[in-house]
Amino acid sequence: RVRHLSLANSHDVGPRSAEAFSRAHRLMPGGVNSPARAFGAVGGTPLFIERAEGPYLFDIDGRRFIDYIGSWGPMILGHAHPEVIEAITKAAQRGTSYGAPTEAESRLAEQIIEAVPSVEKVRLVNSGTEATMSAIRVARGATGRDKIIKFSGNYHGHVDSLLVAAGSAAATLGVPDSPGVTKGAGKDTIVLRYNDVAGVKAAFAKHPGEIAAVILEPVVGNMGCVAGSPEFLQTLRDETTRDGSILIFDEVMTGFRLAFGGAQERFGVTPDMTTLGKIVGGGMPLGAYGGRADIMDQVLPAGKVFQAGTLSGNPVAVAAGSKTLEILRNDPPYEYLENLGIRLAQGLDQAAFDAGIDYQVQAVGSMMTLFFNTDPVNEWADADQSDREAFGRYFWGLISKGVYMPCSQFEALFFGRTHTEAMIDETIDAAKSVLASFA
């Protein structure tokens, strides 16, 4: 059933995917439902997926790939985990949506509150975008202030006020500011450089008592993998506390990935609010935002800040998320993932070094990027210096060897608990031979 085509073509796409893409193109903008999937950044045709299992993706041409995107983060337990699938199936058999409260929602809320240090109360939503959009509204409502600070290269979903100097597909496609976002929507957004301690202090000095919130990815995945320095994170904590503004960690990617309690547990810096997505939904559409009880009690109907959702707390999504968190808590994969991460980082480092190319390997736990860049990447201006064309050749080279990396220099790779040391070694060998061909 599994077939490996070895095409000489650098854009190694099977005939069925090519056909499927041309059909999709006639039906959906760019042929996709989320822009990065179109493979625009690596100049090609996307692989259409038939199914996924454990660490593998299978395309409709019958090829198998070791998966390093994990649905862009959620699949930390591997695809189609039997217990998660069972939980989803059982929930679906009881009906797929009620529009009325369930006990299962309280169970998931308890699990989140127990895991994530900053979260005393939580609200479930349908995506990471909804989580950040709502958190910003609540922070503004709770403080009575308008301005927010975000950092260039950080992506928080397609929220108008945050779609300014955003990473992810926005960076990949070179459209950091989207048409359709009004000047008004971005007017109260102050964009600063990531890891720039002096810039943060200057902004608070310039706008005392005016900043509702600072939102950031504590480890950025959306300009490639870039960690917030300890000094940067501590400065944000100190400045927001002093000024009475709200510190929001966007842990949509890092939550339940860099530790069970997310980056905030890993780094010991506790924000006032946290946004979650991806893993918290176990591969179903679910996000969450939470934080200090006094802030969260501003949300309707406890308070006056409006936020609602027909499918929020959806029983099938809640079942997937709850089972995923239960497994992560009872049998934590984090040490295992840490060791795999070190193995992969060292292997990619050696492969790139041997090939004599300019590179940086940046990794935190099970998030990682091989930057085609001479200098360390600490912020967007650094990431932007990366050689996108070289990344494209690396990407397609790996595809031809059965390894599916993120299709952009500006997306971190992820792996999960079903990846093995042997698969990591196979990936390193593939990277070695691809990079060697660059010389």
Least spacing, CB of residue 209 vs ligand PLP, in Å = 27
> Taking CB positions, which residue lies at the least distance from ligand PLP?
128
Nearer to ligand PLP, 129 or 409 (CB): 129
Do the beta carbons of residue 142 and residue 295 sit within 8 Å?
yes
- Residue 283: name the closest of 55, 51, 73 by CA: 73
The CA dihedral of 108, 111, 112, 115, to the nearest 10 degrees, is -170
Q: Which residues are registered as beta bridge partners of 363?
A: 368
91 and 275 Cβ atoms separated by less than 8 Å: no
Residue 240: in which H helix or E strand, if any?
helix 230-243
Q: What is the nearest approach in angstroms of ligand PLP to the Cβ of residue 167?
A: 8
Catalytic residue selected from 56, 155, 194, 359: 155
Tokens of residue 433, six digits? 């031979």
Rounded to an integer, what distance in angstroms lies between the CA atom of residue 439 and that of residue 435? 8
Sign of the alpha-carbon torsion through 421, 425, 427, 431: positive
Catalytic residue, chosen from 250, 272, 289, 401, is 250
Q: Catalytic site residue 250?
A: yes
CB of 156 to ligand PLP, least distance (A): 5
Tell me 48's DSSP state. P
CB of 61 to ligand PLP, least distance (A): 27
If we measure between CA atoms, which residue out of 252, 301, 300 comes closest to residue 116? 252
Does position 155 interact with ligand PLP (CB under 6 A)? The reply is yes
Residues binding ligand PLP: number (CB under 6 A): 17
Window of 117-125, 155-163, 307-315, 317-325 that interacts with ligand PLP by CB under 6 A: 155-163
Does residue number 369 form part of the binding site for ligand PLP (CB under 6 A)?
no
**In terms of CB distance, is 141 or 157 closer to ligand PLP?**
157
Q: Mention every residue, 6+ apart, whose C-beta is less than 8 A from residue 353.
A: 359
278 is catalytic: yes
Binding residues among 239-278 for ligand PLP as defined by CB under 6 A? 250, 252-253, 277
**CA-CA-CA-CA torsion sign (379, 33, 66, 402):** negative
Instruction: Report which residue type is found at 45.
Output: T
Q: Which stretch binds ligand PLP (CB under 6 A): 108-116, 121-129, 187-195, 400-408?
A: 121-129
Minimal distance in Å, beta carbon 72 to ligand PLP? 6
Per CB under 6 A, the segment of 55-63, 216-224, 300-308, 324-332 that binds ligand PLP is: 216-224
- Token pair belonging to 147: 């301005």
Candidates 21, 39, 48, 72; binder of ligand PLP (CB under 6 A) is 72
30 burial (CB, 10 Å; 0-12 / 13-18 / 19+) is middle
**Nearest approach, Cβ of residue 400 and ligand PLP (Å):** 27
Q: In terms of C-beta distances under 8 Å and separation of at least 24 residues, what long-range contacts does 198-204 make, across chains too?
A: 200/149, 200/232, 200/235, 200/236, 200/239, 201/235, 201/239, 203/149, 204/239, 204/242, 204/243, 204/245
Q: How far apart are CA 98 and CA 310, in angstroms?
A: 9
- For ligand PLP, which stretch binds (CB under 6 A), given 4-12, 125-133, 225-233, 367-375? 125-133
366 binds ligand PLP (CB under 6 A): no
Block residue for tokens 């400045």: 239
- The span of 217-225, 298-306, 369-377, 415-423 binding ligand PLP (CB under 6 A) equals 217-225
User: At closest approach, how far in Å is the CB of 261 from ligand PLP?
Assistant: 16
Q: Which of 111, 118, 129, 312 forms a contact with ligand PLP (CB under 6 A)?
A: 129
Q: What's the CA gap between 428 and 354, in Å, rounded?
A: 12
Among 128, 186, 341, 416, which residue interacts with ligand PLP (rule: CB under 6 A)? Answer: 128
How far apart are CB 287 and ligand PLP at their closest, in Å? Answer: 6
Per CB under 6 A, does 127 bind ligand PLP?
A: yes
Binding of residue 57 to ligand PLP (CB under 6 A): no
Taking each helix axis as running N to C, give the angle between helix 388-400 and helix 421-436, from 0 to 180 degrees, rounded to the nearest 10.
120
To ligand PLP, the closest distance from the beta carbon of 296 in angstroms equals 19
Q: Closest CB to ligand PLP among 253 and 424?
A: 253
Residue 217 interacts with ligand PLP (CB under 6 A)? yes
Asked if 157 is part of the footprint of ligand PLP (rule: CB under 6 A), the reply reads yes
Among 17, 45, 134, 168, binds ligand PLP (CB under 6 A): 168
Residues found near ligand PLP in the complex (CB under 6 A): 72, 127-129, 132, 155-157, 168, 217, 221-222, 250, 252-253, 277, 287
Catalytic positions are 155, 250, 278
